Structure formats: C-alpha cells, structure tokens
Amino acid sequence: MKTVVLDAGHGGKDSGAVGYGRKEKDDVLKLVLAVGKKLDDYVDVEYTRKTDIYESVSKKASDANAYKADLFVSFHRNSADDKNANGYESLVYLNSGKAKQFAELMNRDMEKLEFKNRGTKVRKDLCVLRKTTMTAALCEFGFISNEHDNSLFTKYFDDIVKLTVNNILEVLGVSTKKSTVKKKKGLVNTKSSPLMLRAKASTTASIKARMQKGCVVEVLKTGDKWHKVKYGSETGYCSAKYIKML
C-alpha cells in the first residue's frame, strides 16, 4: 500500500500567517484532516500533526523519511503586505517528475475554483522539500491576507478536499476503487507485559494504548522494527517482534 504524509503547516506557538480573523495553522489543519479522512480508504495516511501542536520543519522531514512515504504534501496559506496579492501556487524542490505532475494538477484544478493560477515555483531553501527523500510538494491555498481568497477557501472547501485527494491518488497511481484485499491480522505475542501502541514508530512517542498478550490486531503496514496496527478504534505503531502474523 502506498504511503502519503500530510503536513499541516505551522501549529502550536507558530500561528503562521494571519488575516481577517483567521490563522493559517487552523485553516490548514482543518484541510489536512478532511483530506486524510478521504484518503484513508485508499492509502496509508500519516500526519506531521493532527492537533494544534508545534513541530520543527526538520522534525517533520525526518518523520516523513522514517515512514518511508511515497509522497509528502505540505499544506499552507500564503500572505503578503499587498492586500491585492492573491491566488494558489505550488512549491517544489525540483520541477520535474511526479512533483511537477502533482503541482500542475493542483494548479489547474484550483484555477477551476476561481483561484488565480500563480504556477509552480522552485524553492530549494524550504526544509520540508529539501530534506524529504520522497516526492514532495508544498501547496499554498490562497492568500490569507486577501479577503477574496478567504471567501473562496470557505466557499469551495469541500471541492478543495476532493481535488486534492484525487490528485494525490492520481500521482500515486492508486485506483479510487476501495481495496478488497483481505485484512491482515496479528497476535500480540509478548511474554507477559502489555505491548505499547505508540503514536509514532519510536520508543519515545506517546502511548495510545496498552495491548494485552493474546489480543488480535489488524496489521495495516509491516516493517522490520515497527508495524502499523489498528487496535479497537486506535491506530498506531508497535514493536514488530512482538506481533505474530496470523
């Protein structure tokens, strides 16, 4: 299964751009969560944040690389001192290959929603584009400093979600038909103590649940050291050596 990392820009102490009573960090988090919910039926979705927390851009890039993702998409909103500046644009490290394809698809489809098409810009200075090892793009969903762009963002929110999902799947070569592949199951096979379900593939990540020996989990993605599993309503990571595949 393909893996995509969705990055809601800024967060926590870093509000990003602000304008007309809006904060960039809030707009993009709402968009990321909506896109991720739709994508979840077709690909493995990872997030750099799902709540209002701050993570450094280098940490975001490092996490994306650890997930061995196929695509990284960073969600932002633009801003300028000139209140007339407006439109959508895509930023890439190299304007070639799948990054170019994704950027052009986004530029085209956002223009259909009445956003000015500002095209694709090469930005080698941006950490999340420079340090990620997979196809990566940064999307600027209109200017938060422009009242008209804000109204378009609100008016066409559901359409923006839909087109972003479709373009991600197209670039990844994933069919929109829901998978009929039989779900993989695993047995928690610890000696006695519970197995920790963590938010990320790290022993320092927060614990989401404690899985008792003998319980069965759905294995979403396997790895040498960590498996991504679903336990009840919780999804997270656990040590691969304590999961016996069924």
State the span(s) of the chain assigned CATH 2.30.30.40: 184-245
Element (H, E) at 57: helix 57-66
Q: What is the mean pLDDT of the chain?
A: 95
pLDDT at position 245: 95
| Residue limits of CATH 3.40.630.40 in the chain | 3-172
| pLDDT score at 140 | 98
Per-residue pLDDT of the chain (246 residues; tens, 9 = 90+): 899 999 999 999 999 999 999 999 999 999 999 999 999 989 999 999 999 999 999 999 999 999 889 999 999 999 999 999 999 999 999 999 999 999 999 999 999 999 999 999 999 999 999 999 999 999 999 999 999 999 999 999 999 999 999 999 999 999 887 655 567 999 999 998 899 999 999 999 999 999 999 999 999 988 889 999 999 999 999 999 999 999
3-172 classified as CATH 3.40.50.300: no
Residue 242 near residue 213, CB atoms below 8 Å = no
Q: What is the pLDDT of residue 179?
A: 54
Beta-carbon neighbour count of residue 161 at 10 Å? Answer: 20
Residue 163: how many other CB atoms lie within 10 Å: 19
Token readout for 148 is: 């008209």
Closest C-alpha among 205, 230, 228 to residue 1? 228
Tokens of 139: 């999307």
What is residue 188's three-state secondary structure?
strand
The CATH code for residues 184-245 is 2.30.30.40
pLDDT digits (tens, 9 = 90+) for 153-171: 999 999 999 999 999 999 9
Composition of the chain by helix, strand, coil, percent to 5 = 30, 30, 40
pLDDT at 182: 67
Q: What is the pLDDT of residues 4-32, one digit of tens each?
A: 999 999 999 999 999 999 999 999 999 99
Helices (H), 156-245: 157-172
